[in-house]
Structure 1
Amino acid sequence: MTSTSIVATIGPATRNAAALQQLHAAGMSVARLNGSHADLNWHRETIQLLRTVIPDVPILLDIPGRKIRTTLLAHEPSFAEGEEIVLTTDADYRGHDKVPVNYDELHLKLRPGVSIYADDGTLAFEVIGISGRDIRLRAKAGGTLRSRKGINVPELDLGRSLLTPRDETMVAFCKETGVDFVGISFVEGADHVQAIRNLINGASPRIVAKVENRGGLDHLEEIAAASDVIMIDRGDLSVETGLDEVSVHQKRIIQVARQYARPVIVATELLHSMIDNPLPTKAEIGDITNAILDGAAAVMLSGETAIGKYPVLCVSRLRSIATAAETYAQRQREARPAGLLAKEREFAQAIRLLAHSNEVDKVVVSSRTGVAARLVAMERIGLPVIAITDDASLARSLRLLPGTTPVVLARDDLHALDAGELVAALQAHGVVDEKDTLLLGRFSATGGSAHTWIQTHQGLGLPLPLVAQSEVEA
């Protein structure tokens, strides 16, 4: 039995008693309903079904909140790169000529040249003109714009109010139907959480705050303090803050939420490939494993269980991945420190502590075998490492080490250089300048090992006195 919870979204593929029982047996911990899809009667019937079939499973209802979406379309337009498409805030259209959105002031907020993204950033457009309620877009790539897909405009603050009339309706519905959690989108501060809590006016449903834009990241601590649960919606987060940074943001959100003892749900595309295929990709397995090892309390499936071909298999696979991750984490907690290179690692740890306590710019390590450079680089000290050697082949191999620049000094004995000569040689190679504060790891052979001393050196001035000493195989 694993401790990681699995949140599974219920949709057309799983909205029946047999499927719900199978999902529960496979390891589903929480049933999620997406309030952006279907109507309240559909959700009411689904909640009743869940309470009848699996009454002990908590229910999370995600409400649309301030998220902008396309409406329910009679026609979902396809387009090629460079073709035009028209969004509109006129609700009378259904997608044949124009695609309506659920924010009736969007046309007032935009201007030509602004980029718009849809469907978790998979579709990108540029605004080329605005006429009345119509927003003319040029597609940056081909695709299809479907019903009730999210619309993002990360360049602009659209100035939407904390609560919409739909929020008030949905929160009242959550209270009436007795769901256990309500998820609120695009939370940017404690005031948004409190506004929802005031509507709830009671202990339940508990609030799941979705962090999915820059505002949420900027006020992360106050959101964690005010809410009951944090959800990382990586779809909108990747569009709003940059795709390349989404994993780093995820780690930070988990870290902050744990400091406030708030459980974190990691959501979006965990097993996206399994919507159509029976096996996940190895990258998906790695993604899920790392989220659990970082401390996520729950992982969430969306389309995988709502509309996918293999919903039960997805939950079963997710449970298996969680078991493997937790087993590894438990073994790591129980394991004794390894004896291999234990003394040598002390050298690298001393380097890291001294570098950060002395505001060092670069670390210089000299060694004939590369062991010292490897130990320091793998300590991930967050500073450039300059590895000095007299072996050109070794120098090339050291380029694999993170943050490491090798320098070959053709000397019979590198250890004969004093600190000033060493810094002058590094300046000649263009890897340090006179403004750098350097931390020098120096070696002198003594029998089968080397005595190491670490000293800081400011520019070409005299080195500071000895501050640490250990032994390391050179």
Structure 2
Amino acid sequence: MAHVGIIATVGPVSRNPETLRALASAGMTVARLNGSHADLDWHRETIQLIRSVLPDLPILLDVPGRKIRTLQLAHEPRFSAGDRLTLTTDRSHDGRDKVPVNFDGLHEQLRPGVRVFADDGTLAFLVEEVDGRDIHVRALGDGQLRSRKGINVPDVKLGRDLVTSADEAMLAFAAETGVDYVGISFVESAAHVQAIRRLIRNGSPRIVAKVENQGGLDHLDEVIGASDVIMIDRGDLSVETELDRVSLFQKQIIAAAQARGKPVIVATELLHTMIENPYPTKAEISDITNAVLDGASLLMLSGETAVGRFPVEAVARLASVASVASEDVGRITRSPELPQVVRAVHALSRSGEVTGVIVLSRSGYAAGLVAAARPAAPVLAVHSDEGLARSLNLLPGVRAVHVPGFDWDASDPAEAAIAALVARGFLGEADVVLTVAASADESRTDLLTLRTRRLSPGLAIEPQAA
């Protein structure tokens, strides 16, 4: 059973039925689209393609949000250390003379001496002069500034609206096309998540909050509490904070999310060398292994599967390394900082008797807790809403089953769920299943019940007893 999910970004090299099927066979469990690239028509067609080829696969759409980027450039300038370039908020330019960026107010907030980074910190510049909308910078190293690359200014607090008009348009598009998750950049507060949630109807798409700057770290607990999933974008995080501390921040974020039963995605450069080469470096293998041992729920590939030469090989390698690392799960799930229900599910599912775990999760909270427990038995989550059921497939090790008309208010919803799963062939008469219900409300008691088809209503077990 896969205890770590694999997110693969779909791009030009993987946007075809054959490659999508191969990626899924290799281990892809979630498809990601980067809203900062291509236009909405391209994304709409890609979503339709994924739905037709892999209908049960969750789709994550990254919303550009407050992230500053270069625009699409007709000319992508190369430069050497000491060369002078001009960034501008005048969008009429195309890179030949000046490189335009998407934040109209950037020139108003910069001054000489401020450092500017680009492309996940691989390019660095120093502001020498600001003239109207033009920002004249000096390159601190050799490189090439490409289209749609991120711009970071860690020395300056850039005031930007929590939700922009572009965000609203992208969220409306996400609802229209039925994607399962939206990724929100530079989340620094619960208010930011709540502002996004107000624009989302019927609880879908769910929200992936990206922690990628000091503000996100400073308000980590409230961001985790307000979000459905957390993503550690190590590219921006390394530039916005301290590169030397990124691995420590990763451990901190994962531990905090685990304590709240929230899934965590680790992203950025997991197999960066496989964009051009068929084999990873030993350092990349070590990085992936440590991310899994830290407790990552999902690992994400970007350029490796969007534009790389070896997309299927990259997914297969990531899945293989993650599988090997997942064998050491006992240490992770015995942590006293984890919710009691997580430790109880882990222990009971490994008793040797349990053949399946059934999770009753109307909101997704209980399913997240069960996934964090990394149970030894298969996990089935029943849901009456087709879209919400599919979204639960993002959780590693969880198989969501859509049961139209499922009665959440039945006298015994767990027994109703078991009956529905037996009718659909997921369970047999002799199975011994652990049913789990949990609430984010600390005033309510989480309930675990052990059942067979011959034992009803079952043996109730308090989480503290495990």
- Provide the TM-score with structure 2 as the length reference: 0.71
Q: Tell me, what secondary structure is at the counterpart of 1:200? A: coil
Q: Tell me, what secondary structure is at the counterpart of 1:300? A: strand
- Report the AA paired with residue 139 of structure 2: A
Instruction: State whether structure 2 residue 206 is matched by structure 1 residue 199.
Output: no
Q: Which residue of 2 aligns with 1:36?
A: 36
Q: Give how far 1:328 is off.
A: 3.1
Q: Do the aligned residues in 1 keep the contact of 2:293 with 2:332 (CA within 8 Å)? A: no
**Distance of 1:217 and 1:91 partners within structure 2:** 33
Instruction: State whether structure 2 residue 322 is matched by structure 1 residue 322.
Output: yes
- Report the AA paired with residue 232 of structure 1: I
Q: Which residue of 1 aligns with 2:307?
A: 307
**Distance of 1:264 and 1:65 partners within structure 2:** 20
Gap runs ≥5 in structure 1? 335-474
Deviation string 1:204-236 (CA, Å, 9 cap, x unpaired) is 000000000000000000000000000000000
Q: Which residue of 2 aligns with 1:79?
A: 79
Q: Give how far 1:2 is off.
A: 1.8
Matches within 5 A, 1:366-445: none
Q: Which residue of 1 aligns with 2:221?
A: 221
Matches within 5 A, 1:90-169: 90-169=90-169
**Distance of 2:326 and 2:153 partners within structure 1:** 38
Q: Which residue of 2 aligns with 1:279?
A: 279
**Distance of 2:154 and 2:90 partners within structure 1:** 23
Q: Tell me, what secondary structure is at the counterpart of 2:124? A: strand
Matches within 5 A, 1:230-379: 230-330=230-330
**Distance of 1:63 and 1:272 partners within structure 2:** 22
Q: Give how far 1:242 is off.
A: 1.2
Deviation string 1:126-166 (CA, Å, 9 cap, x unpaired) is 00001110000000001000000000000111111101110
Deviation string 1:395-433 (CA, Å, 9 cap, x unpaired) is xxxxxxxxxxxxxxxxxxxxxxxxxxxxxxxxxxxxxxx
**Distance of 2:167 and 2:213 partners within structure 1:** 19
Q: Do the aligned residues in 1 keep the contact of 2:113 with 2:126 (CA within 8 Å)? A: yes
Q: 1:53 to 1:157 in 2, by over 3 A?
A: same
Identity %: 66
- Provide the TM-score with structure 1 as the length reference: 0.70
- Report the AA paired with residue 315 of structure 1: V
**Distance of 1:263 and 1:86 partners within structure 2:** 41
Q: Do the aligned residues in 1 keep the contact of 2:129 with 2:137 (CA within 8 Å)? A: yes
Q: Give how far 1:115 is off.
A: 0.3
Q: Which has the higher contact order (CA 8 A, sep 6+)?
A: 2
Q: Give how far 1:85 is off.
A: 0.2
Q: Which moved more, 1:288-297 or 1:320-329?
A: 320-329
**Distance of 1:233 and 1:202 partners within structure 2:** 27
Q: Give how far 1:306 is off.
A: 0.3
Deviation string 1:28-74 (CA, Å, 9 cap, x unpaired) is 00000000000000000000000000111000000000000000000
Larger radius of gyration: 1
**Distance of 2:38 and 2:333 partners within structure 1:** 45
Q: Do the aligned residues in 1 keep the contact of 2:274 with 2:310 (CA within 8 Å)? A: yes
Instruction: State whether structure 2 residue 62 is matched by structure 1 residue 62.
Output: yes
Q: 1:189 to 1:332 in 2, by over 3 A?
A: closer
